[in-house]
Chains A and B, each alone.
Chain A
């Protein structure tokens, strides 16, 4: 039953809410209770910028069961402008266009579902910016 987890993840998956340490400025996505850099417990909630750059990437050709129908698909580590990193699929482009340094933008997409009758998990994917 993933419904409670889906619900809990919405601030991050839908709105990209992150925690920014009030003391050292480090951005945490998802937000944390304690800063791993300076041990501060004071954070402000910020939203990650939707624009970023690919730091590294791969093409998943052997997917986990829930992503069977989508393979092959590109995935990358994306650094967002203003801080914060995500691991996300990179869609709506040719695999040859994906490269390190590629500018991308976060879009709202369907990520996975519990079969044909279960809850649909929405979240973020990246598209060429």
Chain B
């Protein structure tokens, strides 16, 4: 069998909206106990997209940062894949707007992906595959969401907004993709039917038989496939529906808090759905050293996980500072909003036609 082409990440970037809402503020409106939510979910606040931010705008900004971290001519990007459950149009692609904005049209393949919170890693998987297949030199993959939680629902405390973009290529890699493995079953733990504004979920069924089963399945699969163990990794990133789950699943797999720490954004970011594990990866790349190995596992309801093993190269030190760090965007100048403003921003107020 011929040796597989080496592929990986040539450029990466993330985008975090400036606005935040605190758990206390949501709890105040719905008369719930903020402390128990903060403890139960392991998060204090979440990002809120402004009315002029959506999956397309965040994808464009994240992609521009990714381009700043490499010298790729946008016209050499052969594909744009955007994973999201909040594409601004139900029909009309996010990818074409993104491709147009970065100057990658018209010699390009575009596709939008949707798989609950896994759509971003899906886009990454496909982008890696088309580059590996030799179809094109570079492919851009984005995970982005401005996800909605129904007013008063537990999801409202965590559903957040953010994006991460990765330019996949075969040369000038800053992280090599050593292996991938995916694990899927038909598990109805969370969904949104066509024409519904808010998603529905199956409560505690979203935990053990859904999130944990699939992440553990994907982790075991990729560790077996590569013959690696948790100590072989400098860092690990797991999908972050809240602050607690990634910590718990990391522990179950034998990872330490130190290993998950850099990519563990959810306590102050919330769940950015398709952007979640990709943003965790971008934040981890911001601190990783050459030679570091990173395990990344996404999770999307419905349900499945994609896992990736990345090995960071020497190039990381050259490009890291060419664009803002993910944590800097998360921590610098947050603008807190009250629930009324949040509800207005998120279109939760019924208005006259």
Contact = CB atoms under 8 A, between A and B. Distances in A.
Contacts of B344: 69
B103 interface: yes
B33 interface: no
Interface string B331-353: 00001000000001000000000
B111 to A, nearest CB: 20
B256 interface: no
Interface string A1-28: 0000000001000110000000000000
Interface stretch (A33-41, A78-86, A103-111): A103-111
A29 interface: no
21 contacts: A10-B100, A14-B97, A14-B100, A15-B100, A15-B101, A91-B50, A92-B18, A92-B50, A107-B57, A107-B61, A108-B56, A109-B52, A109-B53, A110-B53, A110-B56, A110-B88, A111-B52, A120-B56, A122-B97, A122-B101, A127-B18
A120 B54 CA distance: 11
A68 B307 CA distance: 45
A92 B345 CA distance: 13
Nearest to B54: A110
A53 interface: no
A22 to B, nearest CB: 22
B26 interface: no
A10 B99 CA distance: 11
A70 interface: yes
Contacts of A120: 56, 88-89
Majority SS at the chain A contact face:
strand
B60 interface: yes
Interface of B: 18, 50-54, 56-57, 60-61, 64, 88-89, 97, 100-101, 103, 335, 344
Contact of B51 (A69, A108, A122): A69
Given A108-B60, A122-B97, A15 B54 contact: no
A110 B51 CA distance: 8
Contacts of A10: 100
A125 B54 CA distance: 14
Given A14-B100, A125-B52, A110 B18 contact: no
A10 B56 CA distance: 14
Given A108-B64, A111-B52, A122-B101, 5 more contacts: A14-B97, A15-B103, A69-B51, A110-B51, A125-B52
Nearest to A110: B52
B103 A70 contact: no
A111 B57 CA distance: 11
A92 B52 CA distance: 10
A89 B53 CA distance: 13
Contacts of B50: 91-92
Interface in A87-129: 89, 91-92, 107-111, 120, 122, 125, 127
B284 to A, nearest CB: 25
Contacts of A14: 60, 97, 100-101
Nearest to B56: A122
B57 A108 contact: yes
A110 B58 CA distance: 10
A109 B101 CA distance: 11
A15 B75 CA distance: 13
Contacts of A110: 51-54, 56-57, 88
B101 A70 contact: no
Nearest to B105: A10
A107 B97 CA distance: 14
B101 A108 contact: yes
Contacts of B61: 107-108
A6 to B, nearest CB: 10
Contacts of A69: 51, 344
A110 B60 CA distance: 11
Contacts of B56: 108, 110, 120, 122
A110 B97 CA distance: 12
Given A69-B51, A108-B101, A109-B52, A122 B57 contact: yes
Contacts of A122: 56-57, 97, 101
Contacts of A70: 51-52
